[in-house]
Chains A and B, each alone.
Chain A
């Protein structure tokens, strides 16, 4: 069950999307987020949907994989959709029962929220699926490097992020192992009320914490052995270079995102 977690995971590949500079991708994802929040009109959303799912198709990511990334957030999506559906006041009343009612506006708003969240997750996971975490943090580090002048620990933050991402699968595997070990000793994680289940998690979390600290300690030693001393005198194997593909990518993004925003303003 824990193996379903794919949010924030990289799928190695060699598509056009994989080769785009991470800085370009990060900036464009931010532009996409802005566009998603600026737009609310259906026509604009059609453009955005075509754009995002078109990019997913180019990256040769299976739709199932992208949708699986939605699963952990399904509850939030449904929750906000239901709230919006029933609690939006409006003139076009369709159904009413006491304080709750369904209005045409409510339906529109709920649909908008669902579309917005789904596109948001699909679009951002497109970034993490096609960019290796090291590239991602590399890109972030370069984008934020002007802040180093203000003595902000940008390199350290980027390193912490990439290590966290590196250890997600390792810790998931370990959690699975601990759960199996506890099950074999008669632990029950699947029945009882919420409090009971939360309590049953303690015997998993304690060993997981202990072993995480041990791992962190060993990892720090191993990194020191490989001469890691922060940002001092570091070079990179992969040099980031903006090329023709990045220009094309930006132009396509401007066309679609700009188009969506223009549609939003006009209609």
Chain B
């Protein structure tokens, strides 16, 4: 049984302008099974974007290999099948929208695949409904907000019916409202369509919503596990240049200054409030 994405000893070497060799990825072993919502975290230069580019053969390994849906990305004749199985959404929505009308942009991938016109129309409408952008189908993309543009970009890859969508910091250029909308859409695709989601991000509150978090640093896989197990390792995360969710920060600070003895693995505001309530009531009693 193959996995959605399987990186084995993945190494990526590149030389910069001064001809010095760098290792962006150094022996990364990471397997993402079908249907998982995985977040990949890391500071700038950690290799997380490079990893994303290996998931649909935009970048090819210098060492090791990557299997996408069981297909080796190093085999040139599989490249188009790999990209069909695993699509990618980039950070800047402006630079991935090809057409001047929303629905024509969503149709672009399907036109490239040679899908018959009627079927294109059906899938475009369905994809636009999935991302709540159907009312905007005749709009010009440059008049939409960042979050709306990014949802159009997601619809564009969704219409191609991939098994997996890799998103490289899709919310980095968005306002909080746009971020929330995009995250909502991603969860919907994951739950309703069973699409594997690989979310590259540096927003902790987004990573918290994933089923699994992998942390990269200097091209190495440092941490890998459920958000609950990752985010309690506050000291380790800080040393990697990452923050932890505010709820965890708060509980940890209380433990430090008030010897509260709280479990700090509260990932959401609600969980955190519950813990505090129990503690405060217990304190009074």
Which A residues fall within an 8 A CB radius of B? 10, 12, 132-134, 162-163, 165-166, 169-170, 173, 215, 218-219, 221-229, 233-239
Tell me the minimal C-beta distance from B239 to chain A in angstroms. 32
Which B residues fall within an 8 A CB radius of A? 56, 58, 80, 83-84, 87-88, 90, 92, 94-101, 103-104, 107-117, 120-121, 124, 138-140, 142, 156-157, 160
Residues of B within 8 A of A233 (CB): 112-114
Name A's interface SS: helix
Taken together as a complex, chains A and B put the C-alpha atoms of A226 and B101 apart, in Å, by 17
* Interface residue from A12, A169, A226, A235 paired with B117 (Cβ < 8 Å): A235
Taken together as a complex, chains A and B put the C-alpha atoms of A213 and B245 apart, in Å, by 37
B112–A218 CB distance below 8 A: no
**Which A-chain residue is minimally distant from B86 (CB atoms)?**
A225
**Which B-chain residue is minimally distant from A218 (CB atoms)?**
B95
B100–A227 CB distance below 8 A: no
**Which B-chain residue is minimally distant from A163 (CB atoms)?**
B98
Task: Select the residue from A10, A133, A170, A224 with max chain B CB neighbours within 10 A.
Answer: A224
Taken together as a complex, chains A and B put the C-alpha atoms of A169 and B58 apart, in Å, by 28
Task: Select the residue from B84, B90, B95, B139 with max chain A CB neighbours within 10 A.
Answer: B95
Taken together as a complex, chains A and B put the C-alpha atoms of A234 and B114 apart, in Å, by 5
Q: Contacts A236-B117, A239-B117 known; list 6 others, CB within 8 Å.
A: A226-B156, A227-B109, A227-B113, A233-B113, A235-B117, A237-B107
Taken together as a complex, chains A and B put the C-alpha atoms of A261 and B103 apart, in Å, by 42
Residues of B within 8 A of A218 (CB): 90, 92, 95-96
A169–B114 CB distance below 8 A: no
A237–B99 CB distance below 8 A: no
Taken together as a complex, chains A and B put the C-alpha atoms of A9 and B216 apart, in Å, by 45
* Interface residue from B95, B104, B139, B142 paired with A134 (Cβ < 8 Å): B104
